[in-house]
Amino acid sequence: MKALALALALAGALTGAAGTAQARGCVRGAIVGGVVGHLAGHHALVGAAAGCVIGHHMATRPHHHYRR
């Protein structure tokens, strides 16, 4: 029970500290990562964190159009 309370407090603190401009792609990635992490052995929080990072990277990467 203490671990759950600590996790919720930490999540709330991190949510309050995160800027809205930095959240581009994070929500979608966190949802997908959380589901995959849960299915891969009950690691939903780790999956959500990784999904947020990957989703943010994918959403903000420059789109290069190369000529052939």
Domain boundaries, the chain: 19-68
Evaluated on CA atoms 31, 37, 40, 42, the torsion sign reads: negative
pLDDT tens for residues 18-68? 555 557 778 888 888 888 888 888 888 898 999 888 888 888 877 666 655
Which residue in this structure is represented by tokens 């709330």?
A: 12
pTM over 0.85: no
The pLDDT, as a whole number, for residue 16 is 58
Which residue blocks in the chain are alpha helix, DSSP H? 2-17, 26-39, 44-60
CB atoms within 10 A of CB 20: 6
